[in-house]
A and B are shown apart, each in its own frame.
Chain A
Amino acid sequence: MTTNNNPEPTYVIETQDLEIYYGTFKAVTDVNMKVEQNKITAIIGPSGCGKSTLLRAFNRMNELYAGTSIKGKITFNGQDIYAKEVDPVEVRYRIGMVFQKPNPFPKSIYENIAWTARIHGYKGNMDELVENSLQQAALWDEVKDKLHQSGLSLSGGQQQRLCIARAISIKPEVILMDEPASALDPIATLKIEELMQELKKNYTIVIVTHNMQQAARASDYTAMMMLSGEGERSGTMIEFNETKTIFTRPADKRTEDYVTGRFG
């Protein structure tokens, strides 16, 4: 990124020799990557290669699934997030998440955001916060007249933007998105992509996608994951670089095959 005048980029999340297990099954091996501040980092790869698993490890959502464990290290602003003294709730407060299937709370649009703010002890002007969050998520104009209708009454794309509004209402530093547009139509998908460009001014974004064009269009960095190893196959990161490098001059033959659609 030549426009970046800062010679020393800030890395928000870094992993070292990361391995992620479901019980004894090693789902992800050898991940070393750095997530730069105010950039969009895409994770791509065929399904089942551990993209979601890796993403969930970044804010310790994996722990909600029985039997998960990690080896290696994940740091957030230099702090090991798996250290004993770190509370996973705190991690998820600082590193928000948007899921593949839109999952607004079965509450009003307003309450979706208000509840989220309230549980973190927000005492300020709630109406203002709700409006701001919805505006940042480019949803305000569509819902301002029906804030007290159910969040579930919205269309899929609107629901997903509500989830984004909910996530940013508590001002996280990083937003993790797991295929946020895979359940949406192309127009809603485009809206989400535009929104990401807006959001990266204030937030760092990590997005999992199976959509090559989306990664190429929207991201600054791309991590390519793939299954490797014999027998017990485990997902690993085979290449990590600036997006334009990955898509124009990939170092790994498998990446080239995948991004050009020549893969299986």
Chain B
Amino acid sequence: MKEKEVIQGFSNNLNARNRKGVIWHIIFQASTLVGIVALIALMLNIVNSAFGYVAYEARVDPDTFTVDGVPLEEQNKEQLLTLLQSELSRGAYNKLNNEEPFEERSRENVFQLIVERIIRPKVVAVWDLWPSLTQVDEIRATVAQDFPTAELDFVSWLTYDFVTRPQTSEALTAGVRTAILGSLWTIFFTILLAFPVGVGAAIYLEEYASDNWFNRIIQTNINNLAGVPSIVYGILGLAIFVRTLEPLTSGEIFGLVDPTTANGRTVLSAGLTLGLLVLPIIIINAQEAIRAVPRSLRNASFGVGATKWQTVWSHVLPNAMPGILTGTILAVSRAIGETAPLVVVGASTAISFDPESPFSKFTTLPIQIYQWTARPQAEFQSLAAASILVLLVLLLSLNASAVLLRNRFSRRF
């Protein structure tokens, strides 16, 4: 194009302006890149610990159970059962039989029991995924030299069994079922408290509360509460739910005291504590969503003689629902990953039985992860990594269901 004549007082600075644009473009792209790289590094780190070679030794040599020259692995179910009966105490044997009668168990299952209960392998060395892939020969050499009786296996710490087994102190047989169920129970009560109360408060503040100093103070407080450190909520939960409301949270007033319960340190207390923690987040997001409902829609409803409640219920809420659910997803994601307040409220360190009622003792996935990472042995780091993957999957599936729910709402006319 022929250059425009420069008018006095103006300068032809288009090139400079474009250059500036390009620079900012690069800066923004770089910021995104930093985020993505950090995320990938995190995932690689977790995956690196969750898979790899493990060397383990039997505490009891399986060769001692060879019968008539038939090694343990090749014995039939009857032989294995005889062995189990002779090696376990009568009580332990009967307990297993009560859980699932031996007649109904498969040979593989019985063999598994023998490995877990009698052979009791113990981990002697663990390698991460990267060395397991790149230095197989060195690993084999090390094991042959240092642990001549050890078996070397490539394992995935994250297995179906890991997800379905209860917690144990033995790394090779430990599972996270207890923690998953604890997390689900806890989050259930969190939503049960925070969603209706949060949305209700948001409706009140947006639709009913008049604009006076009192309500402004309440609003300011809610905004500030969203920034209070979570440990403070733990202390609050300890004071309110565990101590003051103990008869309620331990199930005492319902006559339902769980024999395992320790004084109100229950899934119910934990859920309600996290409920308080995310309440301000839900309120603030729901308020935003309600505020974003266009005035024309309210006018339409009031204009045909609808009451405020009819307007709120039929128009404001359905329209705000996608936004409210987005806020709830955020809040629940936060709650599910919380550790500190639950430690304060009294999450159990080592329990192997599932929570079965609101009044059960509990542990949750983050607590479990925290405990395992705190142990010095490498195999527990691997267990922690596997639990982190479980936690991420749990989080993603909860979010996915909330997103589906949200899309149902936003598929509006």
Contacts and interface: CB of A to CB of B under 8 A. Distances in A.
Interface string A85-129: 000011011101111010111111000000110011000000000
A184 interface: no
A89 B413 contact: no
Contact of B296 (A96, A101, A115, A120): A101
Contacts of B319: 106
B302 A64 contact: yes
A150 interface: yes
Contacts of A51: none
Contact of B307 (A89, A108, A167): A89
A59 B305 CA distance: 10
A103 B413 contact: no
Interface in A57-107: 59, 61, 64, 66, 89-90, 92-94, 96-99, 101, 103-107
Interface string B20-47: 0000000000000000000000000000
Nearest to B300: A103
B300 A104 contact: yes
Name the residue among B296, B310, B413 with the largest chain A CB count within 10 angstroms.
Answer: B413
B299 A99 contact: yes
A161 interface: no
A106 B413 contact: yes
A152 interface: yes
Contacts of B412: 106
Interface string B83-96: 00000000000000
B164 interface: no
A103 B296 contact: yes
B92 to A, nearest CB: 64
Nearest to A64: B302
B310 A119 contact: yes
A174 to B, nearest CB: 12
A146 to B, nearest CB: 12
B303 A61 contact: yes
Contacts of A98: 303
Nearest to A94: B305
A106 B297 contact: yes
B306 A105 contact: no
Nearest to A163: B300
B304 interface: yes
A94 B304 CA distance: 9
Contacts of A149: 413
B302 to A, nearest CB: 6
A178 to B, nearest CB: 10
Contact of B413 (A90, A97, A108): A108
A152 B413 CA distance: 7
Nearest to A151: B413
A149 B413 CA distance: 8
Contact of A92 (B296, B297, B302, B413): B302
B305 A105 contact: no
B314 interface: yes
B413 to A, nearest CB: 3
A166 interface: yes
A92 B300 contact: no
B261 interface: no
A55 to B, nearest CB: 11
Contacts of A103: 296-297, 299-300
Contact of A105 (B211, B301, B307): B301
B315 A170 contact: no
A153 to B, nearest CB: 8
B303 A97 contact: yes
A105 B303 CA distance: 12
B291 interface: no
B306 A64 contact: no
B107 interface: no
A185 B154 CA distance: 74
Contacts of B77: none
Contacts of A150: 413
B296 to A, nearest CB: 4
B299 A92 contact: no
B304 A64 contact: no
Interface string A212-236: 0000000000000000000000000
Given A106-B412, A106-B413, A151-B413, A166 B304 contact: yes
A94 B296 CA distance: 20
Interface string B394-413: 00000000000000000011
A106 B302 CA distance: 15
A92 B298 contact: no
Contacts of B306: 89, 116, 119
A104 to B, nearest CB: 7
Given A106-B319, A119-B310, 14 more contacts: A89-B306, A92-B302, A99-B299, A104-B300, A105-B301, A106-B413, A108-B413, A115-B314, A116-B304, A119-B305, A119-B314, A150-B413, A153-B413, A170-B305
The 10 closest A-B pairs by CB, nearest first: A93-B305, A150-B413, A97-B303, A103-B296, A103-B300, A92-B305, A116-B304, A106-B413, A106-B412, A119-B310
Interface of B: 211, 296-307, 310, 314-315, 319, 412-413
11 contacts: A89-B305, A96-B305, A99-B300, A101-B296, A105-B300, A105-B315, A107-B413, A108-B413, A116-B306, A119-B310, A163-B300
